[in-house]
Amino acid sequence: MLAYREMGYLPDAVVNYLARLGWSHGDQELFRREELIAHFTLENVGKSAGIFNPEKLEWVNFQYMKATPAPALADLVVPFLERAGLPVPADHAWLTRVVETLRERAKTLVELAEFCRFYLLDTITPDPKAAAKHLTPAIAPALADLYQRLAALPRWDAAAIEGAFQATLAAHGLKLGALAQPVRVAVTGGTVSPGIYEVLDVLGRERTIARLRAAAPRS
């Protein structure tokens, strides 16, 4: 059990999975501990040997992580950030915001800690293949326009950031994907992330602008 804790599984998720490994209660898959105590009977224990399914355990853990309040999940991920050599923010409320954007993507606390990486580091290096594909000279004028608009925003939130994107798209005749993906690569280092407006909002103005400038291709 300690090994699964180190792998980033929540205790209640492991208990839930093990209880359901050879026992059933209708079609219900997820149980609080009180429900397991209330419903468990030997009559419903299967006679055949249970088969351990790592993918099913991961799915159960994923459900539990999604259901865990973000502040509690932020507390739980701290030891995994430390183990990964990542800085732990002193601002717990901000770490909670980070976790809130990622909670429906990570299946374990180990994975959640890794997903936090681009938020926590001062600088990142975009994946070379992603940069070659998306950070091209053709998109350079639009990126330069965008970061100037972002830098000039009177307030920094998802709605204001979306407004800057929409103005840039209109000025350059682009669709959202043509701009959002280069920005995603520039600020997260890869091509997959939560919604780009939400990411920039949580990442903050200073880091966003710095990363866009650092990754900007020459036109």
165-202 residue pLDDT tens: 999 999 999 999 999 999 999 999 999 999 999 999 99
∠ CA 187-77-31, rounded to 5°: 120
52: pLDDT strictly greater than 90: no
Give the model's pLDDT for residue 70: 95
What's the pLDDT score for residue 48?
58
pLDDT-derived band at 1 (thresholds 50, 70, 90) equals low
Written as one letter, the residue type at 194 is P
Q: Is 1.10.10.350 the CATH number for 128-215?
A: yes
| Residue length of the chain | 219
| pTM for the full predicted model | 0.84
The residue extents of the domains of the chain are 2-120, 128-215
Cross-strand pairs, 45: 23
Residue 7 has pLDDT above 60, yes or no: yes
**C-alpha to C-alpha distance for 170 and 199, rounded to whole angstroms:** 22
pLDDT value, residue 15: 77
Can you give the pLDDT at residue 56? 80
Mean pLDDT score, 117-123: 95
User: How far is 216 from 28, CA to CA, in rounded Å?
Assistant: 51
The domain defined by 2-120 folds into: Glutamyl-tRNA Synthetase; domain 2 (1.10.1160)
Q: Pick the residue with more confidence: 66 or 43?
A: 66
